[in-house]
Structure 1
């Protein structure tokens, strides 16, 4: 591409007199060079969206975020009809991937009080969910820069196209922030597409008597003036949709996975103990006690199937089912609507490998999250005296798995790799038929090769992003070495991308 100046130099003063004809040619060349490759504005402005197949305005181009430092202050409602307020400062460290005269951040609602880039005040403009930032000085490709946004207000609750609620969710005693697929932009500015992962420091100050729980590890807890500050650190890259804060009167339980030295190092960093941090609403404490005590057991079982745990802590957040309607694989500690059953616990913890560590490049690739987590449920059943994965597969294919005919038929509504709309990225084909794709691969390559495959896939893309094409290419290359007789083409054609129910199981 042709690089363009931000403005044409002023030749009207203190400059040699230029003949009109030569000046006309020079201006024409300048305009031509700025038109090639999209024009100056396009050359120097980061895009306002990443053209996700289902959420085209989500995310922003021109830079890559490496770290978020969020400092948040929570004020509960002060009257009958009042709403909780949030005051925040977000320090976003990023690297420019092209020359930038301006760039965008995703932020829905909230009042922006100031924006600085490298400590210098920057111009800002709001339009929908886009906060456009224009630094005083342009940013060069490869340059690392820090943007500080100060903001406040009442964060919004988003109702998705499938009817579920996300973003800022008021609860009986506080709030729960959930981000899949777009809700995180309601409580902090950033690049809110799953393809841009970063580390985090999240510091939350709340009134005394409340707790603030987030991702990663609790680094400090301090009180002053009737308020308590909780500081959390996320050392491994995290997509913003699995970031969370949970504020309320939680009961806290701590334990570890494994024995020996090195607590806090994480399974991926060695053989040390893995901290388990669980926060439970008091109303759910008794009902959830037994199942949550099995987290270490589930993690150790999952490591045997999927490889070393990819993060430095684990756990769970359990809130009241009347406050939230679904579970979510928030990184390090999944969120549950009331006491989960064991299958749901297995599902959300399996997401720590598939979805949180290996994250989709776009929302079209959701089956790489949900198909794997659903198949983990099948494997748990198979290993613990329940139906085998083959029996579950057969029941789905024969239409005997769900109690009602409509649910059994819904499995074949669309191919798992091609949801028809944003409203359907969490429908049954993404989960059940996605798991069926994995079982067909297992049949094709054999058990030993299959478990080696899913472990090596998680290792190869650890803390990164991948899409469906990456996965199919990886499986094909793996099969060439470990199962050269495996015929994968029908799996892709009929099970992954094919319309309707495949003719043969």
Structure 2
């Protein structure tokens, strides 16, 4: 019940000297502002990402000149403070920052390695939304992963591609580069006439600018669903573009290297079938469009589930298409909370491959499982002696986060779960999992608890997910 005639507050009755002391120590005032931490505290990659804020939207304007690999860019980052901020960090490797503003006011920045610190003129209060504009340019570079693979900004025959798993996105735009910070995106890319720039989401417009002989084209892309920054991508090249809609009306955009038009036609044929089949297994497709980028990139030896159009470094077979499209549910819609949760993405995508092989008249899923267990399947062991039994799927290191156990043994966990629950309960669980955590981050602990609510499955996780070495055959 509110008093009608409040008297002076207790603070007002304090002696002036004591009041000054209380105020100086923070008594009776908002918490003191402090810098956001440089790193998201990920056990595998502690310096990736940042703390103290959440990015809601990236607006990236990129002007790229392939001839000398020069990028002129502006990033407008809309974020919400999760503490009282006096400064915060962005991840940015190389490139030169020309100016920085927060809510329109110029601010100072400093650099230490790939950490760009933005020093605020005045604190940003907790829960307040603020806008940071970074103008930068330079020659973006490739990044070597802890496992020796290449990502970042990788030059190709006619242009370049930006690939981000796990750390490459910092090579071409400043951001909070950890999978736990998902955001929407608008990406506008200007390139010389005759080239195509493909980015995430849907193409909103294409504009030609400049006089004859110096004409340039701007491609503007929009991603309305939350996306982790490692899934952000730009691919520039002399692509042959195919667009159409599936029978259910889903827009498809396929960009292919001019030497890969025949494989692109195969992808265009199989992609709608895969989307329909996976939708039956996993629930409704989570994004407003789909597609693929099919390149010839000798510098990259992997595919990546860039949202919602996977990037293929070379012509893919059907199983690769199945794998990368399965990631649109598991990895892109449901994104790992930490890098050690990667098996939740790769295990599901690998298991989708197994089910597709069975559907296509090949080995049954149980036969594939047995071939993995016995080491007969080529994907169960590597040329360097690596096997699926080297470590538990939920226990990779920075060097092995893309190792065989994360993929193959991750899929084995799911098959043992299916055997334990039965087909009806298992696929019901999978669809419920994808629906309940749509567009969110998920962890191993959350998945285990979700499954244990459906049945007595604890032994599956104790033995197949967390157990060391090869379990006894059961």
TM-score normalised to structure 1 length: 0.86
Aligned partner of 1:279 in structure 2 is 255
Q: Is the contact made by 2:72 and 2:138 (CA closer than 8 Å) also made in structure 1? A: yes
Partner SS, residue 241 of structure 1: helix
Taking the aligned partners of 2:317 and 2:233, their CA distance within structure 1 comes to 22
1:496 aligned to 2:465? yes
Give the structure 2 partner of residue 202 of structure 1: 187
Q: 2:231 corresponds to which residue?
A: 242
| Matching residue of 1:69 | 59
Q: CA deviation at 1:403?
A: 8.0
Distance 1:406 1:74 in 2: 38
- Alpha-carbon shift at residue 289 of structure 1 (Å): 2.1
SS, match of residue 293 in structure 1: helix
Contact 1:378 1:392 in 2 (8 A): yes
What's the counterpart of residue 422 of structure 2? Answer: 446
Asked if structure 2 preserves the Cα contact closer than 8 Å seen for 1:288 and 1:338, the reply is: no
Does the C-alpha gap of structure 1 residues 254 and 144 become closer, same or farther in structure 2, counting only changes over 3 Å? same
Query: Structure 2: how far apart are the matches of 1:405 and 1:256?
Result: 39
Give the gaps of 5 or more residues in structure 2: 1-14
Instruction: Find the aligned partners of 1:134 and 1:399 in 2 and give their Cα distance.
Output: 54
Of 428, 434, 448 in structure 2, the residue corresponding to residue 472 of structure 1 is: 448
2:327 matches 1:351 = yes
C-alpha deviation, 1:474, in angstroms: 0.5
3-state DSSP class of the match of 2:45? coil
Partner of 1:60: 50
Give 1:274-313 correspondences, 5 Å limit.
Answer: 274-313=250-289
Moved more, 321-330 or 355-364: 321-330
Distance 1:383 1:114 in 2: 55
Which among 185, 196, 205 is matched to residue 220 of structure 1? 205
Question: Aligned-pair distance for 1:31?
Answer: 7.4
Equivalent residue runs for 1:132-151 within 5 Å? 132-151=117-136
Q: TM-score, normalised by structure 2?
A: 0.92
Tell me the equivalent position of 2:12.
none
1:405 and 1:332, CA in 2 relative to 1: closer, same or farther beyond 3 A? closer
Residues 1:199 and 1:372: Cα distance change in structure 2 (over 3 Å): same
Q: 1:238 to 1:404 in 2, by over 3 A?
A: closer
Q: Where does residue 410 of structure 1 map in the other structure?
A: 387
Q: Does 1:315 align with 2:291?
A: yes
Take 1:212 and 1:192, find their aligned partners in 2: how far apart are those partners? 22
> What's the CA shift string for 1:325-384, capped at 9, x where partnerless?
210000010001211011111000000000000000010001001000000001111222
Given that 1:122 and 1:134 are in contact with CA atoms closer than 8 Å, whether structure 2 keeps it comes out as yes
Q: Is the contact made by 2:380 and 2:404 (CA closer than 8 Å) also made in structure 1?
A: no
In 2: Cα distance, 1:409 partner to 1:196 partner: 32
Distance 1:228 1:183 in 2: 25
**Cα distance, 1:492 vs structure 2:** 1.3
CA distance in 2, matches of 1:281, 1:334: 14
Shift of 1:409: 6.4
Aligned with 2:107 (options 92, 102, 122):
122
Q: Does residue 160 of structure 2 align to residue 175 of structure 1?
A: yes
TM-superposed deviation, 1:286: 2.1
Deviates more, 1:288-297 or 1:338-347: 288-297
- How far apart, in 1, do the equivalents of 2:75 and 2:333 lie? 24
User: Distance between the aligned counterparts of 2:123 and 2:386, measured in 1?
Assistant: 55
Aligned to 2:246: 257
Match of 2:86, SS state, is coil
Note the C-alpha offset of 1:287.
3.4
1:207-266 CA-partner distances (Å, limit 9, x unpaired) = 11111001100000010111000000001000000010000100000121224xxxxxxx
Would you say how many aligned residue pairs link Structure 1 and Structure 2? 453
Post-superposition offset of 1:385: 1.4
Q: CA RMSD in A?
A: 2.0
Q: Is the 8 A contact 1:195 1:359 kept in 2?
A: yes
Q: Is the 8 A contact 1:210 1:249 kept in 2?
A: yes
Kept in 1, the 8 Å contact 2:191–2:216? The answer is yes
Aligned partner of 2:8 in structure 1 is none
Select the residue among 315, 318, 339 that pairs with 1:363.
339
Aligned to 2:433, the other structure's residue is in SS state: helix
CA distance in 1, matches of 2:206, 2:112: 37
> What per-residue deviation string (whole Å, max 9, x for no partner) do you get for residues 398-432 of structure 1?
2221289666860100000111x201000100000
Deviation at 1:125, TM superposition (A): 1.1
| Cα 1:156–1:30 shift into 2, 3 Å | farther
The answer to whether structure 1 residue 395 and structure 2 residue 371 are counterparts is yes
Name which of 300, 308, 313 aligns with 1:337.
313
- TM-aligned CA distance change 1:403 to 1:360, over 3 Å: closer
